Structure 1
């Protein structure tokens, strides 16, 4: 049995032992960014592993404003037994407000596309709970582990995390300038029955926002 989802469900049941992955696996790319082939492993300003690509044509001083697009879920999110509609709304709203604030502190926000402006769009592509020490994924909304895996995993503590994909394009030419895929970790959950809340995910969201403020490109 699977948790009910109203979007196509990709079931990930990775039983190989190993450490929890700190970056998104290729199987977890949502399609929001279109092309992921140029992403490279690097570190965020806070030292956290992340996947990023920056166009060789991008120069920060060339842009004077940002057209900001509100954060969305991609694919569309629907509540499950572990994450309520209220929580989904709270997570999206909080991520959106914090990211918008961070970007506005770097460059003025504008409403019109034009020369020397960037168009920034972002999507929450999954909220997850991973068993510590085992690569075993329960991902919402992208995927949910089948219930029969309970026998194999027991009540191991889990790490909550949020997957975010961000793209900045030249608003006039439409050419991609920056792409980022970030997996941010929140609080530890007692077991795989514990509901996931904004309180659990907030530390990871806040860390991503701090890295956005500290991000520097020549």
Structure 2
């Protein structure tokens, strides 16, 4: 299904994942971030390839608190035979709770934006699966459909994947400071018909959260 952190920096930094099929292709951007032109290849603290941009004006010490915005799906997802509504709800809730906890370990969470605050916004823009060993995977960025690249037999092992897009902006000026697009892999799926569950995607989500805690701004 396609709908896609210091702190926000962490948040964002952690969210980007690798090359080949390890990072999102331009045609897979959801539109949540608006402008993707400044994204560059980078590495997360765990060594995963990422797509990230950090403004030269961003200085972590300038910010004392974070206004955390709950994780959303973008665009609005629709359940399928492989991803149920219950699973969609579980994935969003787990990602939201883990990310919020990770950010709070870096800076205090505050209720109001203003001077010396960052506003962090995050969207799950895709939940999908692709055949292992293949560099292309079928996904419809805007339609938010669950997609899977089928092998000739339909029984080839697949990898579950989650796409995230994150942005941190200055709470006073509204100026974007950090942007990240990340693709994280979960557990292998036995075939192209197997349901995708939170348990499948949990390892990828947890890895991103660890990257958030470990990230340091350049």
Is the pair's TM-score, using the shorter chain for normalization, greater than 0.5? yes
**Equivalent in the alignment of 1:84:** 84
CA RMSD of aligned residues (A): 2.1
| Counterpart check, 1:194 vs 2:187 | no
Distance in 2 between residues matched to 1:157 and 1:139, nearest whole Å = 18
SS for the counterpart of 1:36 is coil
Residues 1:41 and 2:41 aligned together: yes
**Which structure has the larger Rg over C-alpha atoms?**
1
Report Cα offsets for 1:148-201 as digits up to 9, x if no partner.
x74636311001010000000001000000000010000000000000000000
The structure-2 alpha-carbon separation of the partners of 1:188 and 1:112, relative to structure 1 and needing over 3 Å to count, comes to: same
C-alpha distance 118-94 of structure 1, shift in aligned 2 (>3 A): same
Task: Give distance in 1, aligned partners of 2:132 and 2:20.
Answer: 6
- Match of 1:102, SS state, is helix
Closer, same or farther in 2 for the Cα pair 1:151/1:36, shift >3 Å? Answer: closer
Shift of the alpha carbon at 1:135?
3.3
* Corresponding position: 1:120 with 2:104: no
Paired residues, number: 201
Contact 1:42 1:50 in 2 (8 A): yes
Q: What TM-score does the superposition give when structure 2 sets the normalisation length?
A: 0.87
Report the Cα offset of residue 142 of structure 1: 2.6
Secondary structure (helix, strand or coil) at the match of 1:183 reads: strand
- Give the Cα–Cα distance (whole angstroms) in 1 for the partners of residues 81 and 20 of structure 2: 23
| SS of residue in 1 equivalent to 2:128 | strand
Greater RCO (CA < 8 Å, at least 6 residues apart): 2
Structure 1 gap segments, 5+ residues each? 8-18
Q: Match for residue 174 of structure 1? A: 174
When normalised by structure 1's length, the TM-score is: 0.87
Give the superposition deviation at 1:145.
Answer: 4.6
Runs of 4+ in 1 over 6 A off after TM superposition: none
| Alpha-carbon distance between aligned partners in 2 of 1:151 and 1:185, rounded to the nearest angstrom | 19
Unaligned 5+ residue runs, structure 2? 4-18
